[in-house]
Amino acid sequence: MIVASVPERLAWAVDRLQVGAGDQVLEVGCGRGVAIGLVCDRLTGGGIVGLDRSSVAIEAARRRTAAHIAAGRATLRNEALADAGFGRARFDMAFAANVNLFWLKPARELAVLRAALAPKAPLHLFYRPPDATQIGPVIDLLRANLMLGGFSVGQLHTEASGAAALLHLRAEVAHG
């Protein structure tokens, strides 16, 4: 079996998550499951749920992460975040890499995340705009949308990546 290489931005993102061995993790927009595999490699007692609205992406992710699914570490769901219901499940963290819905008007999606995250659990958003000059406007838009959605922005980190930049924004449900 040929293993596809892992894009730098996804390896960087998963490294910044600092996943604990028993964490319950939610990935929004899991695509073909690359980050799911990286997270599962760090889990021993926890698990990850990957959401993607693309059935093609979910099928590719199922093939890529079949061993993790069989071991009970990964679950994949073909649905949009706005339509997802997690019942009483609570996640220790949620993340998304290059998921543009957070640039739009994500009120419903952020409400779902607020309900699904355990107290003080972080939401990590990662982006790699094609041009480093776009990073400022992306940060401003994300901050505004997160604040409107009931989150407070904690940490913000940017790092050069060739002609582009990598962005990591960490937020939590706002209190008070």
Helices and strands (DSSP H and E) totals, the chain: 6, 7
Nearest to 14 by CA among 99, 136, 96, 75: 96
Summarised one tens digit per residue, pLDDT across range 45-57 is 999 999 999 999 9
User: Which ranges of 50-125 does DSSP label H, i.e. alpha helix?
Assistant: 55-64, 66-70, 107-116
Summarised one tens digit per residue, pLDDT across range 66-79 is 999 999 999 999 99
Domain definitions of the chain by residue range: 8-173
- Tens-level pLDDT at each residue, the chain (176 residues): 345 688 888 999 999 999 999 999 999 999 999 999 999 999 989 999 999 999 999 999 999 999 999 999 999 999 999 999 999 989 999 999 999 999 888 999 999 999 999 999 999 999 988 777 888 888 999 999 999 999 999 888 888 766 668 889 999 998 75
List CB contacts of 42: < 8 A, sequence separation 6 or more. Answer: 14, 19, 20, 21
| Assigned superfamily of 8-173 | Vaccinia Virus protein VP39 (3.40.50.150)
Give the pLDDT of residue 2.
40
Give the span between the Cα atoms of 40 and 55, in whole angstroms.
Answer: 21
Q: What is the CA radius of gyration of the chain?
A: 15
Give the span between the Cα atoms of 39 and 133, in whole angstroms.
Answer: 30
Q: What is the pTM of this model?
A: 0.93
Residue identified by tokens 């690359």 is 34
Give the span between the Cα atoms of 169 and 52, in whole angstroms.
Answer: 21
